[in-house]
Amino acid sequence: MKTLAVILLSAMLTDNFVLSKFMGICPFLGVSKKLDSATGMGIAVTFVMICATCVTYPIHYFILVPNNLAYLDTVVFILVIALFVQLVETAMKKMLPSLYKALGVYLPLITTNCAVLGVTVLNIDNGFTFIQSIGNSLGGGLGFLLALVIFSGVRKKMEYADIPETFKGVPATLIAASIVSLSFMGFSGLFS
């Protein structure tokens, strides 16, 4: 059984959700243009990932498995996430208006972020305990934040670069992402 620290760090670095598992590519490319929006999105995703894990884990083990309904995982999880995101948005708007102002705009986009559904399904697939699941979600979320922040820095530099006409925009961004991903490959073999 892997220890908690290993799960957390490997979810964050070696198995980074964005750069090696390709989850959450849309926000990674879409929201990484500016540092503060990248940070906001990263924190919001981390928050929703942890909370979604807290909700979906008991649902899987205490409701679906005893009733032999484990195959409904995907349907139930995505609904729970959609519902949960809505709930967080409403609650945050009422109770923490300042936090809502900072993160609120990113919340509706998170429902369709595959990293959130991905992490909840992975926790179940890997047979993690509850604590390990939380560790995995926290690591995954922080890894997402790290990738977004690093990449927003790279894109800032790219704005001043002289890029050939055909590569302007998305192709150049993808190739830059490839180089960032290459650098994350340096972490592989960190835990074996």
Partner 1 sequence: MAVNNNSLLNNLTKGIIKENPTLITLLGMCPTLAVTTQAANGIGMGLATTFVLVCSNIVISALRKVIPDKVRIPAFIVIIASFVTLIGFLLEGFIPELYDSLGIYLALITVNCIIFGRAEMFASKNNIIASACDGLGMGIGFTLALFLMGSIREILGAGQWLGMNIPVIHDNPMLLFIMPAGGFFTLGMIIAAVNKISNKKPPLEIECGSCDKCPMAEKCDKMEGTDK
Check residue 59 for interaction with partner 1 (CB under 8 A): no
Q: Is 129 in the site for partner 1 (CB under 8 A)?
A: no
- Phi, psi angles (nearest 5°) of residue 21: -105, -5
Among 6, 51, 72, 99, binds partner 1 (CB under 8 A): 72
Candidate residues 58, 97, 108, 186; the one interacting with partner 1 per rule CB under 8 A: 108
User: Nearer Cβ to partner 1, position 58 or 169?
Assistant: 169
- Token pair listed for 177: 């992402």
Among 65, 69, 79, 91, binds partner 1 (CB under 8 A): 79
CA distance 129 to 87: 26
Structure tokens given for 69: 């309904």
- Considering only 51, 54, 181, 191, the residue that binds partner 1 (CB under 8 A) is 181
Instruction: Fill in the amino acid letter for 62.
Output: F
Q: How far is it, in rounded angstroms, from Cα 170 to Cα 158?
A: 12
Task: Judge whether 110 and 28 are in contact, CB under 8 Å.
Answer: no
Tell whether residue 30 is a contact of partner 1 (CB under 8 A): yes
The correct pick among 78, 99, 146, 149 for binding partner 1 (CB under 8 A) is 78
Residue 50: CB minimum distance to partner 1, A? 19
133: number of Cβ within 10 Å: 24
Question: Of 51, 54, 104, 191, which lies in the binding site for partner 1, with binding defined by CB under 8 A?
Answer: 104
Q: Residue 117 CB: number of other CB atoms within 10 A?
A: 23
164: left (phi over 0), alpha (psi -120 to 50) or beta: beta
What residue ranges bind partner 1 (CB under 8 A)?
19-27, 29-31, 33-34, 37, 71-75, 78-79, 82-83, 104-105, 108-109, 111-114, 117-118, 121-122, 125, 165-175, 177-179, 181-182, 184-185
